[in-house]
C-alpha cells in the first residue's frame, strides 16, 4: 500500500481552540463542511490530544482559518507542543468571542461550533458540530495542506490524522539536520544563527541525522 497517495488529497490548515480552566488549541487539517443550511461541520482529533479532552468536556470549540501569511511561532506552539504543558496563547494575538479564544494574527476568519455528536474512529474522534457563529475577517489567501508541505516544507506531527512516517534520504555528500520540534529537514551545515523556517527555533534544536 502506497500511502503517499494521501498527499494528493487537499485540505486547509486550521487552529482548533477551546477553553476550560485555560485556553487550549491545536493545528488540524481535517475540517469539513457537511451541510449548508444551519451549517454542520466536522473535525477529527487524536484521542491523546489534550484539546480533544477539553472539547469533550465543554462541548464547544472554535476554528481559526490559517492564511499563507502564517506566523511560524503559531505552527511551533499549536502543532508540536501540548496545551497541557504550556500556555499556547502566551504572546499570541487573540480575542475571546462567545467564550472561545480566536486567533487574530494572519487568519482569514473564524467559526464557533457546538458539538452534536462524537464518533469513535479508532485512534481519533470525529466531532460533528453545528456552527453557531462565524465571520470572515480579511481577504488573505487560506493556507492549504499542499502549500504547507510543498512551499513551506512543513511536516505533520505524529498525532495528526494525516501523519505519514517518512524516511529521510541523504543527498550525496551532504549532512542532514532535523528539527526536534517540527521535524523540518535541513541539508548541509547548520550555522549558529540558523532559524527553523517552520517553527522558528534556533540551531540548538537541530540534531544531526546519522
Q: For residue range 5-60, what is the model confidence (pLDDT) as tens digits?
A: 766 777 888 999 999 989 999 999 899 999 998 999 999 999 999 999 999 999 99
Report the pLDDT value the prediction gives residue 162, as an integer from 0 to 100.
53
Least confident of 75-89, 141-155, 178-192: 141-155
Average pLDDT in the chain:
85
Report d(CA 90, CA 81) in Å as an integer: 13
Report d(CA 135, CA 124) in Å as an integer: 28
Band of pLDDT at residue 163, cut at 50, 70 and 90: very low
Residues 101-131 as b/e (b if ≥16 CB within 10 A, e otherwise) read: bbbeebbbbbbbbeeeebeeeeebbbbbbeb
- Domains annotated for the chain, with CATH where assigned, are 3-150 (2.30.110.10), 176-208 (no CATH)
By three-state DSSP, how is residue 92 classified? coil
pLDDT tens digit string along 75-107? 878 887 889 988 999 988 999 999 999 999 889
pLDDT tens digit string along 45-58? 999 999 999 999 99
Band of pLDDT at residue 114, cut at 50, 70 and 90: very high
Amino acid at each position: 500500500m502506497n500511502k503517499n497517495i494521501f498527499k494528493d488529497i487537499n485540505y486547509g490548515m486550521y487552529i482548533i481552540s477551546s477553553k476550560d480552566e485555560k485556553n487550549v488549541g491545536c493545528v488540524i487539517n481535517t475540517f469539513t463542511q457537511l451541510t449548508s443550511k444551519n451549517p454542520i461541520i466536522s473535525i477529527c482529533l487524536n484521542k491523546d490530544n489534550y484539546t480533544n479532552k477539553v472539547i469533550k468536556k465543554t462541548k464547544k470549540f472554535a476554528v481559526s482559518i490559517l492564511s499563507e501569511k502564517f506566523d511560524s511561532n503559531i505552527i511551533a506552539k499549536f502543532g508540536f507542543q501540548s496545551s497541557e504543558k504550556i500556555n499556547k496563547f502566551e504572546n499570541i494575538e487573540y480575542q475571546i468571542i462567545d467564550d472561545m479564544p480566536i486567533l487574530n494574527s494572519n487568519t482569514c476568519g473564524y467559526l464557533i461550533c457546538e458539538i452534536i455528536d462524537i464518533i469513535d474512529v479508532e485512534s481519533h474522534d470525529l466531532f460533528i458540530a453545528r456552527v453557531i457563529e462565524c465571520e470572515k475577517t480579511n481577504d488573505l489567501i487560506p493556507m492549504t495542506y499542499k502549500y504547507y508541505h510543498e512551499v513551506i516544507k512543513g511536516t505533520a506531527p505524529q498525532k495528526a490524522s494525516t501523519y505519514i512516517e517518512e524516511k529521510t534520504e541523504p543527498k550525496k555528500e551532504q549532512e542532514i539536520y532535523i528539527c526536534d520540534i517540527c521535524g523540518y529537514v535541513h541539508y548541509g551545515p547548520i550555522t549558529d544563527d540558523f532559524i527553523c523556517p517552520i517553527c522558528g527555533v534556533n540551531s540548538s534544536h537541530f540534531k544531526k541525522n546519522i
